[in-house]
Amino acid sequence: MLSYIARRLLISLPVLLGITVINFILMKLAPGNPVDMLIDPNTPPELLQAKKAMLGLNSPPAVQYGKWLLGLLHGHLGYSFSSYAPVADLIAQRIGPTLLLAFASLFGGMLIALPLGIAGAVRRNTALDHALTGLSFVGISLPPFFLGLGLIYWFSLKTKLLPTGGMHTLGGEGGLGDALYHLVLPASVLAAAIVGKKIRYIRASMLDVLEKEYLRTARAKGVRESLVIGKHALRNALLPILTVFGAEIPVLLGGSILVEQIFQWPGIGQLALQSILSRDYPTLMALNLVAAIVVLASNLLTDALYTMADPRIQYR
Amino acid sequence: MSGYTLEVENLTVAFRTELGEVRPVEGLTFAVKPGETLCIVGESGSGKTVAALSLLRLLGKNGGIRAGSVRLNGEELTRKSETEMRSIRGRDIAMIFQEPMVSLNPVFTIGHQLTEAIRLHTDRRGKAAKAHAVEMLRRVGIPRPEAVYGEYPHTLSGGMRQRAMIAMAVACEPRLLIADEPTTALDVTVQAQILELMKRLAAGSGTSIVLITHDLGVVAEMADQVAVMYAGQIVETADVYSLFENPLHPYTRGLMRSLPAFGSEREGRLSAIPGAVPPLSRLPRGCRFHPRCPMAESICESEEPELQPAEVSRRVRCWAASGEIRRFAGRQGG
């Protein structure tokens, strides 16, 4: 198992390298450049040229990429073109809130979806099942910006139960409780989509398992029905769900760009949007690298979880 | 006390389907003495498995016992609550299934699945439960029982899995063991071992066995009593010797004729019963077997025969056989 993980990590390196090359090309193909985005349109061209030279934008793209890669090998992600802060610091500040938001919505969403999906499967084709199907379609179909604004309108403006945005109360003490209080609305928006998708998935997976002979064996042993479902069936139904669980993590990072914008959540998503708008190449390259690492790591995590959950699967 | 472990009387099972109610089992009557083995024989679709599951009341959401009675040591099971039934399942009545490959849960170890039954129905916990489970594995002839205790089902062969299933079933010393085609999915050489094992275990503890099979070879090997089922009904019951000696129902005879036999004078092709078991939604009027019966007469098409006593302690459901019985008795007398 350990040698398998080591091998997978080694294979990931060329994949990561390839991803950075493609990212760099895409970024260069995009119209505009950092200097145009930065500076007053009435600035004299000579000044613009000087600025470009200073940022190293006049050398050929291949050289620019080579320099970035060389820096990376030495552990340097470079400096932001817009704030001149070290990119590593920018990401370090922002990654925590994003991870908090992503995992809160992932686990919260799964905690809600799991019992609902099971209930739908066990009571299939009843009014409850149809209601859950309807609910899941609402969850999938509601765009996050609409649901987000709706929640802000209702919970912040109308009832004043929850804050409209941010991560800490301005001028407040801060702390974890305060952060969690601010987390509720953005996490709910992200979780809604997860719940919608996962109810269907868990229901289907559970339906598959409910017909299995080994459940009849368990019943014939005298196992109570709640354990037949909650233990014998669920353990098997969870196997395919684990795969989508891991695949959900990268999707969450993407989804957080929008949600962080709506709720002013100080995470990676906001940083990504700002650096795209200002063509902040070093920050973008670093963010893409982080995203690529997250995707590869979630895949590896999924495979590792799978071996732990299913005794029939072993990697060598 | 009645002297019987299991008495089934006029048992009728109904399922709700989209096409309305169907009755895969109708008017089932049989009884099993302690330590005795009853074989229920029939083709696919004759209702054997449903009959077995109905004894445990494991018919699912859409099925249920519509009429009749099931008594275990004189105790009526059809009126028990679900909770009471649960404590009977696995403790008083245990069941072995056809497909050992899919009847064990793939994500739990053999040991876990064994001790689950032991913990449910006995006072054994922890080490005592494990010791008992390992002992059961040893008793069913599994080599390295301590190691197998910790293994997952997929590491065992079909025969070993069926042994583990048997260990699980007899772990709480049930009074009745129901085996639904326990050897159908296994190699022929393994079949004999498994049958031998069941016989030995039952003989040791006085457990009665209801064995469901379509294989007359298994019947000859195992049965004390035999019930032949066709389209949800018992068409003939007899002790195993009389049945093989002199099958009364045309269906039983058809089954016998479709068997190859060593050293018999019969040569050439095996005969088959033409046609198939009718679907439950389109049962024929009269005798359910008459469209396939070589002896069918006009009465068979209109009147349904009862299961009638014949000879000593035999019963048969057939108009023609009733006449046959008279001729048979006449021959004996003359």
Domain ranges of chain A: 93-274
Set of chain B residues whose Cβ sits within 8 Å of the Cβ of A309: 107
Residue with tokens 């260069």: A28
Res. A38 pLDDT band, cuts 50 70 90: low
Q: Is B56 in contact with A220 (Cβ distance < 8 A)?
A: yes
Phi, psi of A16 (to 5 degrees): -60, -45
Q: Is A214 in contact with B106 (Cβ distance < 8 A)?
A: yes
> Which pLDDT does position A96 carry in this prediction?
87
Q: Is B168 in contact with A221 (Cβ distance < 8 A)?
A: yes
Paired tokens of B248: 């009364």
> Which pLDDT does position A277 carry in this prediction?
85
Contact by Cβ (8 Å): B47, B58: no
Q: Which of B88, B97, B152 shows the shortest C-beta gap to A217? A: B97
pLDDT at B326 > cutoff 60: no
Give alpha helix (H) positions in chain A: 2-29, 34-38, 45-55, 61-73, 87-122, 127-141, 144-151, 175-210, 213-221, 225-227, 234-262, 268-277, 281-309
Set of chain B residues whose Cβ sits within 8 Å of the Cβ of A236: 105-107
Delineate the domains of chain B, giving CATH numbers in brackets: 6-92+174-263+270-333 (3.40.50.300), 105-168 (no CATH)
> Which pLDDT does position B224 carry in this prediction?
93
Residue with tokens 């859409």: B62
pLDDT at B272 > cutoff 50: yes
β-strand partners of A79: A86
Paired tokens of A147: 């649901």
Rounded Cα–Cα distance for residues B285 and A179 (Å)? 76
Rounded Cα–Cα distance for residues B288 and B153 (Å)? 42
- Exposed / middle / buried, residue A265 (Cβ in 10 Å: 0-12, 13-18, 19+): buried
Set of chain B residues whose Cβ sits within 8 Å of the Cβ of A216: 58, 97, 103
Rounded Cα–Cα distance for residues B174 and A208 (Å)? 32
- Residue B106 touches partner A, C-beta closer than 8 Å: yes
Contact by Cβ (8 Å): B119, B112: no
- Residue B266 touches partner A, C-beta closer than 8 Å: no
- Residue B79 touches partner A, C-beta closer than 8 Å: no
Q: What is the pLDDT of residues A63-113, one digit of tens each?
A: 889 988 898 888 888 888 888 889 999 999 888 888 889 889 988 998 999
Q: Is A311 in contact with B107 (Cβ distance < 8 A)?
A: yes
Q: What is the pLDDT of residues A182-200, one digit of tens each?
A: 888 999 999 998 899 889 9
Q: Which of B87, B102, B117 shows the shortest C-beta gap to A212? A: B102
**Which overall architecture, per CATH, does domain A93-274 show?**
Orthogonal Bundle (1.10)
User: Residues of chain A whose C-beta is under 8 A from some C-beta in B?
Assistant: 212-214, 216-224, 232, 235-236, 239, 309-312
Distance from CA of A237 to the nearest CA of B (A): 11
Q: Is A236 in contact with B121 (Cβ distance < 8 A)?
A: no
User: Any idea what the Cα angle at residue B182 is, between residues B178 and B188, rounded to 5°?
Assistant: 150
> Which pLDDT does position B333 carry in this prediction?
41
Half-sphere exposure of A103 (CA within 13 A, CB side): 8
Q: Is A220 in contact with B95 (Cβ distance < 8 A)?
A: yes
To probe the interface with A, which of B57, B93, B103, B151 has the most A CB atoms within 10 Å? Answer: B103
To probe the interface with A, which of B82, B92, B96, B107 has the most A CB atoms within 10 Å? Answer: B107
Q: What is the pLDDT of residues A149-191, one digit of tens each?
A: 898 889 888 888 888 888 877 777 777 788 888 888 999 999 9
- Residue B116 touches partner A, C-beta closer than 8 Å: yes
The contacts found for A1-10 with CB under 8 angstroms, 24 or more apart, are A1/A304, A1/A307, A1/A314, A1/A315, A3/A316, A4/A315, A4/A316, A5/A300, A5/A304, A8/A300, A8/A303, A9/A300
The residues near B311 (Cβ < 8 Å, ≥ 6 apart) are B238, B242, B325
Set of chain A residues whose Cβ sits within 8 Å of the Cβ of B170: none
Residue with tokens 């017909």: A211
Rounded to an integer, the average pLDDT of B316-320 is 86
Query: Helices A87-122 and A268-277 meet at what angle, rounded to 10?
Result: 120
Q: Which of B107, B121, B165 shows the shortest C-beta gap to A222? A: B121
Q: Is A221 in contact with B152 (Cβ distance < 8 A)?
A: no
pLDDT at A118 > cutoff 90: yes
Q: Is A222 in contact with B120 (Cβ distance < 8 A)?
A: yes
pLDDT at B258 > cutoff 60: yes
Q: Which of A217, A235, A239 shows the shortest C-beta gap to B104? A: A217
